[in-house]
Amino acid sequence: MVQSFRERDILEIARNEGKVTVEGLASRFGVTVQTIRRDLGDLADQGRLERVHGGAVLPSSVANIGYEDRRGLHDTAKDDIARRCAQAIPNGASLFLNIGTSTEALASALLYHQDIMVVTNNLNVANILAANSDCQIVIAGGTLRRSDGGIVGSIAIETIEQFKVDIAVVGCSALDEDGDLLDFDVQEVSVSKAIIRQSRNTFLVADHSKFQRNAPVRIASLRDISTIFTDKPLSKELTLKC
């Protein structure tokens, strides 16, 4: 395989999975680990990947994966996570749901819940839950982010601060090895922080790819989370951070 094409494919795998490993890429492309190390070194020199022990990850300065691409990533895992999270949410509960494809999957899993109220800064969540006539929907005001239907800004925070709900369900773009939930957009993170402050319990919904990614803006710590819903066990190091 010509090197430029291999590097292109390596970047695509990194975008889809959040991390690539030297051994895994060598096996996938049928080349030596030394060849893959050179490829990763070249991509790191170009600023397109960051080297980590045993492989590479997307650089923290890289913008988040596009919304439509994220929608199709790990969709089976997201649906399973959403079902299990929905089972932990009782009828009659009040909820916050923030921006993200994982919380949108949860909205679909809540379509048969009764007597619930959902406050959200995610227009996609509101549109999904509109099909549940037994769900009261409150949409935070603010600035619309057309790329993903998110609503951000000070007005959104002011809306959220009018409520105290039973459960906040939040997603994130990355989960740092120190146990910090991370994201890419400062405005979005400010809203997520308000959501967590105004909730009695906070659930995190995150598939395993978030454990392998990086992002520059801190939302909260795992110690701020009541329950984690994911598709693979946390590492021993992350478990100790809970």
Provide the mean pLDDT of the chain: 90
Bridge pairing between strands 116-120 and 94-97: parallel
Query: How much is the pTM?
Result: 0.75
For the chain, give the longest Cα–Cα distance. Answer: 59
Structure confidence at residue 65 (pLDDT): 62
pLDDT confidence of residue 201 = 98
- Encoded tokens for 69: 């691409």
> Once rounded to an integer, what is the mean pLDDT over residues 1-13?
78
pLDDT digits (tens, 9 = 90+) for 122-157: 999 999 999 999 999 999 999 999 888 999 999 999
206 close to 102: Cβ distance less than 8 angstroms:
yes
Residues, the chain: 242
Contacts of 164 (CB under 8 A, 6+ apart): 198, 199, 200
Could you tell me how many helices (H) and strands (E) the chain has, helices first? 10, 14
pLDDT tens for 208-239 read 888 877 888 999 999 999 999 999 998 888 88
| Model confidence at 62: pLDDT above 60 | no
Domains, the chain, ordered by start: 3-57 (1.10.10.10), 67-241 (3.40.50.1360)
- Whole-angstrom distance, CA of residue 167 vs CA of residue 94: 7
- What pLDDT digit, counting tens, does each position of 186-202 carry? 899 999 999 999 999 99
At 2 the three-state DSSP class reads coil
Type of residue numbered 75: D
Range 156-163, long-range pairs (CB < 8 A, 24+ positions):
156/121, 156/191, 157/190, 157/191, 157/194, 159/119, 159/121, 160/96, 160/119, 160/121, 160/191, 160/194, 160/195, 160/198, 161/194, 161/198, 163/94, 163/96, 163/119, 163/138, 163/198
Q: List Cβ neighbours of 72 (8 Å cut-off, separation of 6 or more).
A: none
d(CA 136, CA 114): 10
Looking at the predicted structure, is the pLDDT value of residue 1 above 50?
no
